[in-house]
Amino acid sequence: MNAIRAPLAGRLLDPLIEAAAGLRPRGVRQAQLAGIHNPFGRAVALCDPWKFLDVCESGEILDCVAALIGQDIVLWDSELYLDEASWSAAFAREGRWWPADPLAGALVDIALATGDAAVCEVHARGALLTRSPGAHYVIRYMPATSLYNRDPLFPANRVAMEERPLVNYMTRPLWLVRGEDRAGSDFATGFQAQAPGWAAEMISIRTEV
């Protein structure tokens, strides 16, 4: 299916361009840029996730997504790629580790250099988008008629554990950005700030004392 294309307004695009420019010289791992819209995730230490969430929830984007997958829409992931090469590498595997059951959804590719957003369906054959040089912000939506499957034995989750071991999609928070949940997905998991890794150790030490 041909992609739907739409320009992204400057008020939404400019903060993303600024964030990408600030992150590029810091040498962050790609896994740190997964779920960058999530204010409860690790991206909060790198940038302002709310600026990315604003884009994910914008009418300009959701109208295009709805035209492809319907009016019941779940936002489950987004990711910033700082250059076209890293996006191309990820693009080759797109759809393999999506936890949508059955697999369905829409992929939004925003080329920050041009401000153009390309939206297309994701299915068993993967996504087909043209790519542009520079940084890309990629948003992943699924229809609320599919279940977000958090079972570690679900085939897509097993693939994700092999191909993206530093990204845990099973604990991702979900946003119902339009319409209604029609598959019974878990919308409670993930909406809490993660405790630092040393917190459990400190509790253990105090208990022993």
What is the distance of C-alpha 45 from the center of its chain?
17
Rounded-to-integer distance, Cα 188 and Cα 174, Å: 8
Percent of the chain with pLDDT over 90: 73
Burial class (CB in 10 A: 0-12, 13-18, 19+), 120: buried
203: its two tokens: 């509790």
User: Is the pLDDT assigned to residue 14 strictly greater than 50?
Assistant: yes
User: Is the pLDDT assigned to residue 206 strictly greater than 50?
Assistant: no
Q: What pLDDT digit, counting tens, does each position of 133-177 carry? A: 999 999 999 999 999 999 999 999 999 999 999 999 999 999 999
pLDDT of 69 reads 95
Number of other CB atoms surrounding residue 90 within 10 Å: 17
Alpha helices in the chain (DSSP H): 10-23, 49-56, 59-69, 84-91, 155-163, 199-208
44: its two tokens: 């909060």
Alpha carbon dihedral 67, 70, 74, 77, in 10-degree steps, equals: -40
Task: Provide the 8-state DSSP code for 34.
Answer: B
194 band by pLDDT with thresholds 50, 70 and 90: low
pLDDT of 201 reads 42
Average pLDDT over residues 2-31: 92
pLDDT of 130 reads 57
The residue whose two tokens read 């695009």 is 13
pLDDT of 2 reads 58
Rounded-to-integer distance, Cα 99 and Cα 94, Å: 12
Q: What pLDDT digit, counting tens, does each position of 56-99 carry? A: 999 999 999 999 999 999 999 999 999 999 998 888 888 999 99
Number of other CB atoms surrounding residue 31 within 10 Å: 14
36: its two tokens: 């960058």
Domain range summary for the chain, segments of one domain joined by +:
4-208
Cβ 30 vs Cβ 73: under 8 Å:
no
Task: List % helix, strand, coil for the chain (3-state, nearest 5).
Answer: 35, 20, 45
Nearest Cα residue to 54 out of 73, 69, 70, 39: 39
Q: What pLDDT digit, counting tens, does each position of 34-63 carry? A: 999 999 998 899 999 999 999 999 999 999
101 band by pLDDT with thresholds 50, 70 and 90: very high
| Second-level CATH architecture of 4-208 | Sandwich (2.60)
User: Is the model more confident about 1 or about 33?
Assistant: 33
pTM: 0.88
